[in-house]
Structure formats: structure tokens, C-alpha cells
């Protein structure tokens, strides 16, 4: 199978669920209050897909404009896969039926250039018994995509001195691409957000470093720009006392982002919390039913529950949601609302989020 990128429409279809691989999740929740940090700046993924591709129009024209004899795919897809697997270890090239977010497309071409005989004299050329010597090179294009959207293209060529140099030449070119990927941080979340023109949470998100006795422990980007970022506040003495703040673009047209939408959102959050409690075989207690919370700068919604059994300590959870610009700001705590609410109020006083991104402006045109 070969294919090429299709641009922002792919993002819109992914958002709408029309072109999303089976493993892609639209769930914004942080399971068990866990944040997965980006461990490796080079390959921040366990695996990615690889597909052979067509040469770009530019490369095809470059071949037509020379005397070179060009042959596509001189190296099989299987050999490229083996070479990539060795180069990117411990990451792997995906072999399952479920597609991954990242796809690496490789197009390759053998270019053979006939050379003139040693003497340039006309009569010498006519009567020369020496055969023209050919020089050759392997030209390769790497295109990295995220859900079909092109992030980066890298081209490299390597001279061939004999027919049996394809293997080493391919390894050399993959090594060059790997160095390029490392230098550019192609698989980093920052590069992904920047390439897709998503919101810049690193520079545009403003959060107070302290809220009561809690301190801002970390801010992470999700590996999906539609899920935005998450920040964590933690108590210095009670490690289980956690307040997470998720900030992500609302997947609706701006005309539909209103208090009615927020009310439906908090009801959905309550239903999910109820299902989680039941799945853990805990008795559900509603400490605060879905209610409105009015702050100086905005109005939000919240609820607070806890689950318990006859053996373990009760598990508390409070959830607050607010609309800020085109984003949802969601607080989730591991403690009751009467402790969480002053913290939420303090954080919201100075909180600011990035403006609507170019990515979401384009996506919302399809909503």
C-alpha cells in the first residue's frame, strides 16, 4: 500500500471519528490520576507505522531533467522495515492491524548516470573500445505523518559504487534520517503541536505555582493536540492529595460553546465517575450534586462524590469545569470539594490559556 498526505481534512475527519484508527481514543480522562511523561525526546512512541510511498513531484521532475535512468523502489519494503527496526530500537515498526498515530513514508529511487569515455576527443570516442562507465546513487525521501497530516520531509542521496551496495547505502541513509529526527525532535510533542499549529501551552498557559499548601509539580502535553495539556498540583506532605488541571480545545463550533454545553459536559463527567465507582464495586455517595459555581471571572459547574466499602478507605473525587476562551478547563481532585474549592478559586484567579489555535480554526470549519 502506498499513499500521500491529505492535509487538514484528515485532522477534521479524525476529530469527527471518520478516519480514526481503532486504537485512537476520544476519552479525555486521566486514568487513575496518572500522567505519562514524555520519556524519550527522539522516539517518544513505542512503535510507528511504515509504508512505501511514491516519489515527490519535485524528485520525479529532477530525474526527468537529467540523463539519468531512474528506477523506483530498488529496495524492497521488507528490507526497509528490517533496517528501520534495527535503527530505531527500542521503538518498533508497527506490525499489528491497528494503525498508530505516526506514519513514516519512504520513497526510494535508483539513479544511474552514464559517463563519457575517458577521452573527450570526438575520434577517440568513435573508435574507443572502452565501455562507458556508469555512476549511480540511491535517492530517498522520508515523510513523517501524524494521522495522515505531514509533519516533516527529509531527502538524502548516497553514491553507489557497485550493485551490492544497496544494503549499506540504505543503512547510511536511515542513519542520516535518524540524526535528523534527533536534531529536530520529530517525535516530540512540542514538534507535533508546532507542526499542526496547535495551541502553545508551554508559553501560553499561565498557572499559579502555589495554591494553598499545594505546589505545581508538573505540566505535560498529551501526545494528541486535541487533548491539550494537563498540570498537576500536589501536597508536599500527603502524596495522595492531588489536584489535576486539564486544559484542551472544545470539539465544537464556537457558536455551540455555552453554558448549556457546559451543563451537559458536567453531567457526562458525573456519569463517568459513577460508572468508575460501580466498576470498582464501591458504594456511591453524592457529597455535592451537580451545581453551579460562580467566580469573579466566570461561572462553572461541579460535583463531588466518594465511594467506599467495608474494607478500604473512602475514595473521594471532586470535578470542576469551566469554559475559558475556546477551551475546557477541568479540575479533578482526590479529596472532597470543601478542600478542593478554595484551591480551584485561587488557581482560576490568575489562570490564562492560549487563544484559539490555527489548527482548531481550520478544524471548526468542518463542524
What pLDDT is attached to residue 291? 97
What pLDDT is attached to residue 5? 42
Domains with residue ranges and CATH for the chain: 39-187 (3.30.160), 199-354 (3.40.1000)
Per residue in 256-265, pLDDT tens? 999 999 999 9
Query: Does the pLDDT of residue 21 top 70, yes or no?
Result: no
Q: Which three cell numbers stand for residue 61?
A: 521532475
At 43, is the secondary structure helix, strand, or coil? coil
CA atoms of 353 and 143, how far apart (whole Å): 32
Query: Does the pLDDT of residue 235 top 90, yes or no?
Result: yes
What pLDDT is attached to residue 90? 86
Query: Does the pLDDT of residue 10 top 70, yes or no?
Result: no
Query: Does the pLDDT of residue 32 top 50, yes or no?
Result: no
How many Å separate Cα 280 from the centre of its chain? 31
Q: Which residues of 236-266 are buried (b: 16+ CB within 10 A; e: fewer)?
A: eeeeebbbbbbbbbbbeeeeebeeeebeebb
Query: What is the phi/psi pair of residue 24, to 5°?
Result: -65, 135
What pLDDT is attached to residue 225? 97
What pLDDT is attached to residue 62? 79
DSSP secondary structure letter of residue 165: G
Q: Which three cell numbers stand for residue 72?
A: 523506483
- Evaluate whether 134 touches 115 at the Cβ level (below 8 Å): yes
Q: With a threshold of 0.75, does the pTM exceed it?
A: yes
Rg, C-alpha atoms of the chain = 28
Mind giving me the DSSP string for 202-260?
HHH-B--SEETTEEEEEEEE-SSGGG-EEEEEE-SS-TT-EEEEEEEE-SS-GGG-SHH
Proportion of the chain above pLDDT 90, given as a percent: 68
Model confidence at 166, pLDDT cuts 50, 70, 90, reads: confident
CA atoms of 298 and 98, how far apart (whole Å): 42
Residue entry with cell 525526546 = 41
**Which of these ranges, 20-24, 112-116, 238-242, 301-305, has the smallest mean pLDDT?**
20-24
Q: Is 197 left (phi over 0), alpha (psi -120 to 50) or beta?
A: left
Q: Which residues of 27-49 are buried (b: 16+ CB within 10 A; e: fewer)?
A: ebebeebeeeeeeeebbbbebbb
Q: Is the dihedral of CA 271, 277, 282, 285 positive or negative?
A: negative
The average pLDDT across 147-165 equals 88
Name which residue leads in pLDDT, 128 or 170: 170
Between the alpha carbon of residue 37 and those of residues 63, 149, 220, 322, the distances in Å are 45, 24, 7, 25
CA atoms of 341 and 347, how far apart (whole Å): 10
Mean pLDDT taken over the chain: 85
What pLDDT is attached to residue 123? 45
Model confidence at 115, pLDDT cuts 50, 70, 90, reads: low
- Evaluate whether 277 touches 360 at the Cβ level (below 8 Å): no
Name which residue leads in pLDDT, 178 or 1: 178
CA atoms of 251 and 268, how far apart (whole Å): 15
DSSP-assigned beta bridge partners for residue 155: 141
Query: Does the pLDDT of residue 57 top 70, yes or no?
Result: yes
Amino acid at each position: 500500500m502506498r499513499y500521500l498526505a491529505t492535509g487538514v481534512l484528515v485532522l477534521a475527519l479524525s476529530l469527527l471519528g471518520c478516519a480514526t484508527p481503532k486504537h485512537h481514543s476520544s476519552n479525555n480522562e486521566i486514568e487513575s490520576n496518572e500522567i505519562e511523561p514524555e520519556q524519550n525526546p527522539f522516539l517518544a512512541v513505542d512503535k510507528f507505522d511504515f509504508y512505501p510511498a511514491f516519489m515527490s513531484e519535485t524528485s520525479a521532475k529532477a530525474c526527468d531533467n537529467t540523463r539519468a535512468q531512474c528506477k523506483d523502489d530498488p529496495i524492497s519494503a521488507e528490507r526497509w522495515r528490517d533496517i528501520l527496526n534495527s535503527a530505531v530500537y527500542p521503538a518498533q515498526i508497527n506490525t499489528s492491524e491497528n494503525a498508530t498515530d505516526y506514519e513514516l513514508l519512504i520513497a526510494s529511487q535508483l539513479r544511474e548516470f552514464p559517463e563519457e569515455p575517458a577521452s573527450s576527443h570526438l575520434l577517440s570516442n568513435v573508435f574507443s573500445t572502452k565501455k562507458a562507465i556508469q555512476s549511480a546513487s540511491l535517492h530517498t525521501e522520508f515523510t513523517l505523518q501524524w494521522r495522515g497530516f505531514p509533519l516533516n520531509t527529509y531527502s538524502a542521496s548516497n553514491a553507489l559504487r557497485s550493485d551490492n551496495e544497496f544494503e549499506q547505502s540504505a543503512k547510511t541513509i536511515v542513519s542520516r534520517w535518524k540524526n535528523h529526527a534527533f536534531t529536530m525532535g520529530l517525535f516530540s510533542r512540542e514538534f507535533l503541536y508546532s507542526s499542526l499549529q496547535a495551541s502553545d501551552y508551554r508559553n501560553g498557559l499561565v498557572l499559579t505555582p502555589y495554591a494553598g499548601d499545594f505546589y505545581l509539580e508538573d505540566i505535560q502535553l498529551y501526545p494528541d493536540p486535541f487533548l491539550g495539556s494537563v498540570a498537576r498540583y500536589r501536597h508536599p506532605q500527603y502524596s495522595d492529595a492531588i489536584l489535576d488541571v486539564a486544559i484542551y480545545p472544545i470539539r465544537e463550533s464556537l457558536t455551540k460553546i455555552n453554558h448549556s454545553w457546559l451543563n451537559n459536559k458536567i453531567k457526562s463527567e458525573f456519569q463517568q465517575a459513577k460508572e468508575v465507582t460501580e466498576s470498582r464495586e464501591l458504594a456511591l455517595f453524592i457529597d455535592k450534586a451537580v451545581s453551579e459555581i460562580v467566580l469573579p471571572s466566570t461561572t462553572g459547574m461541579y460535583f463531588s462524590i466518594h465511594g467506599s466499602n467495608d474494607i478500604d478507605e473512602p475514595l473521594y473525587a471532586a470535578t470542576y469545569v469551566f469554559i475559558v476562551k475556546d477551551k475546557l478547563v477541568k479540575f479533578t481532585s482526590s479529596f472532597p470539594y470543601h478542600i478542593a474549592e478554595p484551591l480551584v478559586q485561587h488557581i482560576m484567579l490568575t489562570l490564562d490559556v492560549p487563544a484559539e489555535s490555527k489548527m482548531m480554526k481550520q478544524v471548526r470549519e468542518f463542524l
